[in-house]
């Protein structure tokens, strides 16, 4: 009896239509590329460790890949999203104080990039920090915010 039920179940499954989704992987070489002459790139990152301590870090480099500045900051306990936002804020603040006026801000969090560019989303937790970032972006300078792959953001990742 048990075998007959298995056969019936097998025949039913054989007649079920289903779609198979195939995912094609595209290989892409990823690396850091210098900005145009007269511009700088700020690579920032935020991180949360297993012990719940969080931090952010960033590096500022010029068009010849030269070191123009950097930072690492302990944040105590906060979410990864907040650590990423703090990294963006600290990077922009440092660039402004150093007198740079043509800036590319590169982050490896697409969610944070979208939040800052579209000026919406996020959580109540990060709202006041987002407003600070949007305010500094209104200063007299040109800032481009871009997503970068984690592999191209290793220096900032190490500092965070």
Structure confidence at residue 120 (pLDDT): 81
pLDDT confidence bin for 154, thresholds 50/70/90: low
The percent of residues above 70 in pLDDT, for the chain, comes to 74
Residues 16-69 pLDDT 10s: 555 556 667 766 656 778 889 999 999 999 989 889 999 999 999 999 999 999
pLDDT beyond 80 at 158: no
Domain boundaries along the sequence of the chain: 29-159
Q: Find how far residue 49's CA is from the centre of its chain.
A: 17
* CATH match of 29-159 with 3.30.420.10: yes
pLDDT beyond 60 at 136: yes
**Cα 115 to Cα 129: distance, rounded to the nearest angstrom:** 12
DSSP-derived letter for residue 47 is E
């Amino acid at each position: 009896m048990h075998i007959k039920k298995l056969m019936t179940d097998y025949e039913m499954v054989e007649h079920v239509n289903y779609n198979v989704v195939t995912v094609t992987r595209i290989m892409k070489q990823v690396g850091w590329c210098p900005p145009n002459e007269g511009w700088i790139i700020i690579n920032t990152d935020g991180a949360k460790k297993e012990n719940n301590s969080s931090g952010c870090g960033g590096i500022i480099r010029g068009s010849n890949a030269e070191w123009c500045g950097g930072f690492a900051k302990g944040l105590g306990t906060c979410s990864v999203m907040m650590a990423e936002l703090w990294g963006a804020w600290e990077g922009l603040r440092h660039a402004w104080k150093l007198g740079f006026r043509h800036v590319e801000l590169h982050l490896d969090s697409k969610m944070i990039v979208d939040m800052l560019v579209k000026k919406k989303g996020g959580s109540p937790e990060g709202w006041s920090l987002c407003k600070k970032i949007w305010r500094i972006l209104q200063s007299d300078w040109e800032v481009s915010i871009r997503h970068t792959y984690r592999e191209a953001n290793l220096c900032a990742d190490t500092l965070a």
